[in-house]
Amino acid sequence: MQTIAASLLAADFACLEQEVAKVANADYLHVDVMDGQFVPNISFGPPVIASIAKITPIPLHVHLMVEEPIRLLDSIFASGEGQIDCITVHAEACKHLHRTLQAIKDRGIKAGVALNPATSVTGLEHVTELLDRVLVMTVNPGFGGQQFLLEMVPKIKATHQLLSSLGVSKEIGVDGGIDLETGPLVVEAGASFLIAGSAIFGADEPDRVIEQLRSIVV
Ligand code: DX5
Ligand code: ZN
């Protein structure tokens, strides 16, 4: 069984409450925060996260696609009203990744590190103690609805191997272009935390797609 996070970026922001209700069976709501600097797009920030936290009990997985995310941790954490389960930052965006992960863990929540497609997983070797989840980006971050990068499948396997060789067990997540076709590929490669936006919100029956992604067997 996979853990499924529905990426809100693909929802219709004009009616967030109805959209969130459609994915009530997701394990997490994936909340993409973008700053127009780290990625060439701007999405939303703490005020919108605060509104989302009010309308759903689903735990939030916050994906910070921002430069120096340590600056925003206080405001993001406060906006989640106790509903933020995990904050994931990009390794490439942090001058001090270790300090940033420590600052997330100090808040008593899970910490994740996302890796852009060009970033090798080997850089995480020295921060595994502070990590709960490695997020292998399967598209270049910044936009929903992009095509899955097939060349990330070996990277998921490499991540799995690295973590096993270090004797640590961490969740491997994937984000970008995940649907019922690419899902089996990433699950077979070792991913167990699947984030999907378009495939879920673009479906006639989002709850069914969530169930199908969750029960992929390889
Ligand atoms: C991309 C975001 C993703 C995005 C995924 O930068 O981090 O979470 O919403 O969207 P799909 O599933 O449509 O590729
Ligand atoms: Zn994301």
- 178: helix, coil or strand? coil
**Mean pLDDT of the chain, nearest integer:** 97
Q: b/e for 42-76, b at 16 or more Cβ within 10 A?
A: ebbbbebbeebbeebebbbbbbbbbbbbbebbeeb
Q: CB under 8 Å to 87, separation ≥6 — which residues?
A: 62, 64, 69, 73, 76, 77, 104, 109, 110, 111, 112
- Number of residues written out for the chain: 218
Q: What pLDDT sits at residue 132?
A: 97
35 catalytic? Reply is: no
In this prediction, residues 167-176 reach a mean pLDDT of 97
pLDDT attached to residue 161: 97
Q: Is the pTM of this model over 0.85?
A: yes
Helix (H) or strand (E) holding 135: strand 133-137
The whole-number average pLDDT for the span 14-29 is 98
Three-state DSSP state, 99: helix
Residue 162 has pLDDT above 90, yes or no: yes
Best of 146, 186, 210, 213 for a ligand 1 pocket test (most atoms within 8 Å of beta carbon) = 146
Q: Are 86 and 62 in contact (CB under 8 A)?
A: yes
Residue 175: active-site member: yes
pLDDT at site 81 = 82
Per-residue pLDDT tens digits for 72-121: 999 999 999 899 999 999 999 999 999 999 999 999 999 999 999 999 99
How many whole angstroms from 65 Cα to the centroid of ligand 2? 8
How many angstroms separate the alpha carbon of residue 197 from the centre of ligand 1? 6
> Residue 61's beta-bridge partner residues?
30, 86
Ligand 2 geometric centre to CA of 7 (Å)? 7
- Architecture in CATH for domain 3-214: Alpha-Beta Barrel (3.20)
Domain spans in the chain, listed from the N-terminal domain onward: 3-214
Q: Which residues surround ligand 2, an ion (CB under 5 A)?
A: 32, 63, 175
167 burial via Cβ count (<10 Å: 0-12, 13-18, 19+): exposed
The tens digit of pLDDT for each residue in 40-86 reads 999 999 999 999 999 999 999 999 999 999 999 999 999 998 999 99
Which of 195, 200, 201, 213 best tests ligand 1's pocket when mutated (most atoms within 8 Å of CB)? Answer: 195
Q: Find out whether 213 and 22 touch, Cβ atoms under 8 Å.
A: no
